[in-house]
Amino acid sequence: MPRVILFNKPFGVLSQFTDRGSPTPRQTLSDFIDLPAVYPAGRLDRDSEGLLLLCDDGALQARIADPRYKLPKTYLVQVEGEPDEAALDRLRKGVSLKDGMTRPAKAEIIPDPQLWPRDPPIRVRKSVPDSWLSLTIHEGKNRQVRRMTAAVGHPTLRLVRWSIGDWTLEGIAQGLWTETSVP
């Protein structure tokens, strides 16, 4: 049975076990996970938070990370401004980015999800409101969610991956991990 680890990655942590070549040390997975032979299945940018899957099975790793398998990834996204129906519709139909068109996404405005505090906190501008979206995509272009929200006029302020397929962050505190099975 493959070993699957669900990790709630904090902001500022690299999605790898070592930090080679950086003049200033940065936090990595090894600061949180001390398990042999598990590796990230996909990536999550240093300035993003939330669910990162790790496993010890190469075939499963590929199935999780490869867009061909269309595993849905749901993000809770705090954006600048208040997206209207036209902006949401563009996300739902696909957004044209420099590296091509994105696949259609599921996008909806949600109430504040009451997450753990981010360290450091996001910048708040009193004159510009912010909103939360739930955005589900089926691919993984570099910084895709951030580029999609910016393309529709609502830059991302905070990005938290909540789920990948049937795996979720439910009940996992920031910086902690749990072991689970393949659904």
Could you give the residue numbers annotated as active site? Answer: 45
Three-class DSSP category at 172 = coil
Residue length, the chain?
A: 183
CB atoms within 10 A of CB 165: 16
Residue 130 CA: distances (Å) to CA of 18, 95, 101, 111 = 35, 21, 26, 11
Residue (of 54, 40, 8, 56) closest to 177 by Cα position = 8
Q: How far apart are CA 102 and CA 141, in angstroms?
A: 8
Cis check: omega of the bond before 36, within 30 degrees of 0? no
Q: How far apart are CA 81 and CA 108, in angstroms?
A: 14
